[in-house]
Structure 1
Amino acid sequence: MHMVLSRVLKWKNSPSTQEQYQILYRFEQLFQHGYSLNDALDVLTWEKQYTAVVTTIKQALQRGETFVESLEQVNFNPNVVSFLKIAIQHGNLSKGLHHCCQMLKQRKEFLTKLNKLSRYPLFLFLFFLLILYFMKTSIFPSFSQLIGSSNTISAFQNAEIAINMIYYGTISTLLLVIFLFLISITMKQQISIELKIQLIKRIPIYSKYKQMQTTYLFVTHLSSLLTSGLTIKDSLEVIRSEQKADLMNYYSTMISDHLAQGYDYSTILPQCHLLQEQLTQIMSKDRNQNQLQKELNIYAEHLILSIESYLKKWINFLQPFLLSILALFIVFVYLALMLPMFDYMNYM
């Protein structure tokens, strides 16, 4: 329980995706204009909404921590921290900031659209729960006391049972979702990478998104390291040397060990289930390092557009789907209320 609370508090104290994007974007712009890190931090303190985050970063730097470690102190996105760490190690800070801004911008736009699309269905859902509660606690008990006919009472009892099933079923579903969310927070760092991959593969919709996202991160890591002059082998070693046990580390270790045994990419990449098959085609071609780096850059741009299109498609589907479900529930509740009343009127 303490672990769950600490994670929730950490999430609560983290800067929002919008704030992370704005801060890194300002860093990118200021670095391009020749500002040093300290000067860029001083400029960012001019904006009051970033003062607390920037002050924490400056204090971490004054304690001797690196720029990436200072971002960890203010709970920046782990993918951003990992990417910047590798980028800085190999002199590609500008490109690393650019890729991180792209990732955060995409996430920011997705969350904004999701918030707008879910606001109205959420309001209707809460209103629907309120109606159910009012019917359960006020309307049906009043009708049961008013009506004396056993046939009509039976009809009202059936309707009341249906309303109770919807009401308690909805509450139980919400509690189950909250429970699973808390369990996922607790178990996230305890289960193995292999089990995580198997679980992700079994989640509809999210599995494809995660596959595209993981491929994008892997491709941008490789492309950035190749730009700095490293070979593919050295690039994989850099990624696998990261202490953080994540998908990038896991897959780079798999691929590196497989290549060291004399095999090629066509036999190992298909075993990396959260990497798209197009990556196998790219890596298996006979290309020199510069050609491969350019092709990976093009593929990364394709992936970011594909992720945006995929998310937009499911977001546009989400609102009418939720509204349709709510409409069916409302019609059912209306019939559960009106049909027993019609029976009562016919009996009279």
Structure 2
Amino acid sequence: MGSFLRKPFIKRKKKLPGEIQLRFLKRLQRLLENGYPLLEAMETLKWDKNLLPVATQIIESLKDGMTIDQAFERAMFHQSITSYLYFVQANGDLLGSIGKCIEMFEQRMNYTKKFQQMARYPIILFIIFSLLLYFIKQSVLPSFMEMFQTNSNASSMLVLSIFLIDLFMTGFIVIGLVIMIAIPSWHLIKHRISIEQQIKIYQSIPIYRGYMKTQTSYFFAVHFSSLLKTGMSFKEILQHMANQRKIPIITHYANLIKEELSRGLHITYLLTQFTLLEEQLVSIFQKNADVNALEKDLSVYGDLLMEEIEDRIMKSITFLQPVFFILLALFIVFIYVTLMWPMFELINTI
């Protein structure tokens, strides 16, 4: 019993707030641009008491022999950040990698904030009208049913209204439960599913597969380009991409390409076999025999894909807002008809 009491409780570390992550990266970038070595920059970041715990933990991790991506992962930075930092040990471009992290993570936070701002009021109104609809179904419509027992037309309309309300509320609850169960369940079982099966699942989702295709092409182009700058051969680049574990699809594709290259196949042919890579990426490899030109084109293509991802997400967010309000308008019309139809029937009977 005493040993149980002395055993410390295992606490799950809290997720690092996005604002703290972004502030940390921006200040670290500024210090590195001003010529600070990495550890000295981390010590300087400790002057900000909000960044003190993060900087202290990263310093301790680096002194323990961890790589830069492992240290940031231990400090609970987002996976999209640590996936970039993994390649620092290969390309040596810490400043450039941090700049890419800032650009991507800042966009991610902006999308999240815009979506929250767009969805906040429609969701509040949706909840209010759902409660109003429930009140009408429980209190108002039964009273109308008693009033119009002798009027078959009115009674059938009221029965239909009650049925539609029940159908809506049941559907709303079922959809909510499916989403609440499906998302956590996917994160739990994803690691137990083979990467081939995961790719098939991504391809079966109409809208999401387009996003995954663009995102995978972006990561492949950016990381391949950053490693080309170091003068590595294709085989060495693919080995580094296969060794990382932050982006499983890239790991899978790199392993396949590496194996097939050893059999004498050309990389451009292999890239055409991958369903989650854009055709334009393949054409860049086809037209560039010169390594410097290939590195430049892949870097530019990565920037274009980042803009395309931003444009798609913004279009999706702006599309969702009118959809929300159209649903609310239909909601209001339905409530109005549900209340007023029996009144019209009552007037007709007088």
Shorter-chain TM-score above 0.5: yes
Q: Which residue of 1 aligns with 2:99?
A: 98
Aligned to 1:5: none
Does residue 1:268 correspond to 2:267, yes or no? no
Q: Which moved more, 1:15-24 or 1:163-172?
A: 15-24
Q: Note if contact 2:67-2:89 (Cα within 8 Å) is conserved in structure 1.
A: no
**Which residue among 198, 201, 223 is the counterpart of 1:199?**
201
Amino acid at match of 2:339: L
Distance 2:82 2:15 in 1: 13
Contact 1:99–1:220 (CA under 8 A) maintained in structure 2: no
Q: Which blocks of at least 5 consecutive residues in structure 1 are unaligned?
A: 1-8
| In structure 1, C-alpha distance between the alignment counterparts of 2:316 and 2:83, rounded to whole Å | 28
Could you tell me whether the CA contact under 8 Å between 1:87 and 1:93 is conserved in 2? Answer: yes
Note if contact 2:91-2:230 (Cα within 8 Å) is conserved in structure 1: yes
Contact 2:68/2:85 (8 A) holds in 1: no
Q: Distance in 1 between matches of 2:245 and 2:320?
A: 38
RMSD, aligned α-carbons: 2.2
State the match for 1:343 in structure 2: 345
Q: Aligned letter for 2:309?
A: I
Mapped to 1, the partners of 2:200 and 2:338 lie a distance apart of 43
Q: Secondary structure at the match of 1:96?
A: helix
Matched, 1:133 2:138: no
Q: Which amino acid aligns with 1:84?
A: L
Counterpart of 1:166? 168
1:26 offset after TM fit, Å? 1.8
Report the alpha carbon displacement of residue 55 of structure 1 after superposing the two structures with TM.
3.5
TM-aligned CA deviation for residue 244 of structure 1: 5.4
Q: Distance in 2 between matches of 1:242 and 1:173?
A: 36
Question: 1:153-302 alignment to 2 at 5 Å?
Answer: 153-243=155-245, 246-302=248-304
Identity %: 34
Q: Distance in 2 between matches of 1:15 and 1:320?
A: 33
Alpha carbons 1:44, 1:50 under 8 Å: kept: yes
CA deviation string 1:29-54 (max 9, x = no partner) = 21111222333223323334333433
| Structure 1 range deviating more: 154-163 or 240-249 | 240-249
Amino acid at match of 1:337: L
1:38 aligns with 2:36: no
Deviation per residue, 1:37-92 (Å, 9 max, x gap): 33322332333433343333334345443332221112222232122122223312
Alpha-carbon shift at residue 21 of structure 1 (Å) = 2.5
> What is the CA-CA distance between 1:230 and the residue it aligns to?
0.9
Contact 2:45 2:51 in 1 (8 A): yes
Unaligned runs of 5+ in 2: 1-10
Amino acid in the other structure paired with 1:297: S
| TM-score with structure 1 setting the length | 0.90
| Cα offsets for 1:290-340 (capped at 9, x unmatched) | 111111111111111111111111111110112112222332232223212
- Pairwise CA distance, 1:287: 2.4
Map of 2:87 onto structure 1:
86
Amino acid at match of 1:109: N
2:220 and 2:123 mapped to 1: Cα distance?
Answer: 36
- Give SS of 2:56's match: helix
AA matched with 1:161: F
Change (3 A) 1:74 1:129: farther
> Are 2:70 and 1:69 equivalent residues in the alignment?
yes
Q: Do the aligned partners of 1:92 and 1:228 also contact (CA within 8 Å) in 2?
A: no
**What amino acid sits opposite 2:171 in the alignment?**
G
Q: Which SS does the other structure have where 1:342 is aligned?
A: helix
TM-score by length of 2: 0.89
Residues 68/286 of structure 1: CA separation in 2 closer, same or farther (3 Å cut)? closer
**Is the Cα–Cα contact under 8 Å of residues 140 and 160 in structure 1 kept in the other structure?**
yes
Q: Which residue of 2 aligns with 1:112?
A: 113
Q: 1:2-81 alignment to 2 at 5 Å?
A: 13-81=14-82
CA distance in 2, matches of 1:126, 1:87: 47
Aligned: 1:314 with 2:285 = no
* Cα contact 1:87–1:95 (8 A) shared by 2: no
Q: Is contact 1:21-1:104 (8 Å) kept?
A: yes
Compared with structure 1, are the counterparts of its residues 245 and 280 closer, same or farther at alpha carbon in structure 2 (3 Å cutoff)?
closer
Question: Partners in 2 of 1:204 and 1:341 — Cα distance?
Answer: 46
| Greater CA drift, 277-286 or 204-213 | 204-213
2:3 paired residue number: none
- Residues 203 and 209, structure 2, Cα contact 8 Å, conserved in 1: yes
* Distance (whole Å) between structure 2 residues aligned to residue 63 and residue 260 of structure 1: 37
State the distance in 2 between where 1:62 and 1:145 align. Answer: 78
Deviates more, 1:18-27 or 1:251-260: 18-27
Amino acid aligned to 2:277: L
